């Protein structure tokens, strides 16, 4: 901010361009301008200059866009100045800010990862992390999902985060322009299935849905946010449907359940694939309840041995009343295991 000469200290009056107000009324220390008084002529004049400067800023922004300017994030600097506001003047500036930002949203400002330039209202800025490194990792992770044609270019991400202002002023944009971790996971949850995810992802052949999901889970775990896996249904079961972690079990890698037994259990009325995590999903370092071969044998055995009293108060097999009991027993007897140890599945069922 200038009044012929720089007003030292006014650099905290955040604005995308320098304002040289020859009619500004500066403070006594020449570190800013008077804005707070509702009646004082000098404060009124200063506010009029600021209002005109914002209008000029929009006009100049449109001129820059029309003339192919790059690094357009600069034009979005519109945060609340660091000023000793009174209620009156703060409300005045916030009204200006909302109107200013509403106009900025409709301008082609965002140079995207796909090299397109889109309106700010159509963009989504990945925003998570306390360090630059984490913010950039989050951008790289989420851009295939959000869409490379919607996120700012990787090299411009940090500048866009700064340009759009602090968290407590984001609502002043009146539009969803940032995507934090929770917002991202909510969007991922809404996809519902692996099939839908594969159609949604903007990725090459090497970046399959499962590989990408494992990157997401690794990021969440590394950031010590694993509780979010219980909050959002984003983990695929063995049918590819998304569930939260507390609704799923991990198949024990040391005692993996053969598909044949899962098929038999499904025929018996229990479909474990619904609650088993997809075998290609990796969740390192988490303590997850497991299901294994021993447990499925006990479950099937329990179903085979279940009894109930008939009309004559005699115990009879529930299983043998099934129309397909013979076929199920045949399937069990035909199981060809490489081991004949006592711990084998067939031994656990029949001995």
Q: Sort residue 248 into left (φ over 0), alpha (ψ -120 to 50) or beta.
A: beta
pLDDT by residue (tens digit) across 67-76? 999 999 999 9
pLDDT at 121 over 50: yes
pLDDT of residue 340: 44
Asked whether 219 and 262 are in contact (CB, 8 A), the reply is: no
pLDDT of residue 320: 74
At 15, the pLDDT band (50, 70, 90 cuts) reads confident
pLDDT of residue 289: 94
pLDDT of residue 26: 63
Q: Which tokens go with 194?
A: 């692996």
pLDDT of residue 214: 97
Q: Which residues contact 277 (CB under 8 A, 6 or more apart)?
A: 235, 236, 237, 238, 248, 249, 250, 251, 283, 288
Q: In sequence order, which ranges of the chain are alpha helices (DSSP H)?
A: 41-66, 87-105, 132-146, 157-163, 181-191, 194-200, 209-222, 228-231, 259-267, 293-305, 325-333, 345-350
Asked whether 252 and 290 are in contact (CB, 8 A), the reply is: yes
Distance of CA 114 to the CA centre of its chain: 20
At 4, the pLDDT band (50, 70, 90 cuts) reads very low
Radius of gyration of the chain (CA): 32
Q: Which tokens go with 84?
A: 């000793």
More confident residue, 317 or 269: 269
pLDDT by residue (tens digit) across 183-219? 999 999 999 999 999 999 986 644 589 999 999 999 9
At 24, the pLDDT band (50, 70, 90 cuts) reads low
pLDDT at 7 over 70: no
Grouping H, G, I as helix, E, B as strand and the rest as coil, residue 157 is helix
Q: Tell me which H or E stretch contains 310.
A: none
Give the mean model confidence (pLDDT) for residues 309-326: 76
- What is the average pLDDT value for the chain, to the nearest integer? 86
> What is the residue extent of each domain of the chain?
2-179, 181-248, 250-350
pLDDT of residue 176: 97
Instruction: Let me know the angle formed at the C-alpha of 89 by 88 and 93, rounded to the nearest 5 degrees.
Output: 125
Q: How far apart are CA 272 and CA 263, in angstroms?
A: 9
pTM: 0.86
């Amino acid at each position: 901010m200038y009044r012929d000469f720089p007003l030292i200290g006014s650099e905290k009056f955040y604005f995308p361009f320098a304002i040289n107000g020859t009619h500004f009324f500066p403070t006594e220390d020449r570190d800013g301008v008077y804005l707070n008084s509702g009646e004082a002529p000098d404060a009124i004049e200063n506010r009029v200059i600021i209002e005109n400067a914002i209008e000029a800023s929009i006009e100049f922004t449109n001129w820059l866009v029309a003339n192919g300017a790059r690094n357009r994030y600069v034009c979005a600097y519109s945060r609340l100045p660091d000023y000793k506001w009174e209620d009156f003047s703060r409300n005045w500036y916030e009204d200006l800010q909302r109107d200013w930002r509403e106009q900025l949203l409709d301008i082609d400002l965002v140079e995207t990862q796909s090299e397109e330039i889109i309106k700010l209202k159509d963009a989504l800025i990945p925003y998570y992390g306390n360090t630059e490194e984490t913010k950039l990792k989050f951008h790289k992770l989420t851009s295939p999902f959000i869409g490379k044609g919607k996120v700012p270019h990787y090299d411009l991400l940090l500048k866009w985060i700064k340009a759009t202002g602090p968290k407590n002023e984001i609502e002043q944009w009146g539009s969803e322009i940032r995507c934090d971790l929770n917002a991202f996971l909510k969007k991922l949850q809404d996809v519902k299935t692996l099939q839908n995810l594969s159609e949604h992802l903007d990725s090459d052949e090497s970046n399959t849905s499962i590989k990408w999901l494992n990157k997401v889970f690794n990021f969440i775990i590394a950031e010590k946010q694993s509780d979010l896996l219980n909050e959002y249904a984003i983990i695929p079961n063995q049918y590819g449907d998304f569930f939260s972690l507390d609704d799923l079990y991990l198949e024990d890698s040391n005692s993996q359940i053969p598909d044949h037994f899962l098929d038999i259990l499904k025929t018996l009325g229990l479909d474990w694939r619904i609650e088993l995590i997809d075998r290609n999903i990796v969740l390192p370092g988490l303590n997850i309840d497991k299901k294994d071969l021993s447990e499925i044998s006990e479950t099937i055995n329990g179903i085979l041995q279940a009894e109930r009293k008939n009309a004559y108060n005699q115990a009879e097999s529930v299983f043998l009343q099934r129309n397909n009991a013979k076929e199920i027993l045949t399937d069990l007897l035909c199981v060809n295991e490489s081991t004949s140890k006592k711990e084998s599945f067939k031994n656990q069922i029949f001995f």
